[in-house]
Amino acid sequence: MSEKHGGARQVSRISMSLPEELLAELDAMVADRGFASRSQAITDMLHQSLVEHRRRLGDDVMVGIITLFYDNTVSGLQKRLADLQFTHIDEVISSLHVHLIHNQTMEAILVQGPARKLQAISDEMITCRGVISGKMHLIAALIPPLHPFHDGTSPEGAE
């Protein structure tokens, strides 16, 4: 059965069966994290699982963030990371780095592109000598074009 909730997108109602102990854990998580309902929590979990599934398939264009935590005293590391971002300029939208204590830096890199390519870029950055830890988080969404061409021309055809 499909219904509209508060003018929002159409939703479908489903029923599911869970073992009592799993239901108790779900209810505890709903309360701990502040979800409004079980449905909201399950929707969040399903969305994350489906995004991960799409990421593994590798063909969908997605948007995400690569977070890096690194030792900024490692010779050449910051240049290497900047060079990688430049090399992948079509996928790297923006980056922000924050200097932390003890010669450490946290960098957040906003990316968009095919999931498989973003994973390769992320792996290339995370495996650089001096990177302490890193992770990529993708979502199934797109960033709108910053400078759309309304006359049908491409950037190459613009004057």
Query: Does the pLDDT at position 1 exceed 70?
Result: no
pLDDT at 10: 86
pLDDT at 150: 63
Residue with tokens 């992320």: 122
Q: Which two tokens stand for residue 70?
A: 């690194």
User: Left if phi > 0, otherwise alpha if psi is -120 to 50, otherwise beta: which for 50?
Assistant: alpha
Instruction: Answer whether 0.75 is exceeded by the pTM.
Output: no
Q: What is the mean pLDDT of residues 29-54?
A: 87
pLDDT tens sequence across 69-123: 999 999 999 999 999 999 999 999 999 999 999 999 999 999 999 988 999 999 9
What b-and-e string marks burial along 53-82, b requiring 16 or more CB atoms within 10 Å of the CB? ebbeeeebebbbbbbbebeeeeeebbebbe
Question: Domains in the chain, ordered, with CATH?
Answer: 19-57 (1.10.1220), 61-139 (3.30.70.1150)
E-assigned strand segments in 18-103: 61-71, 92-99
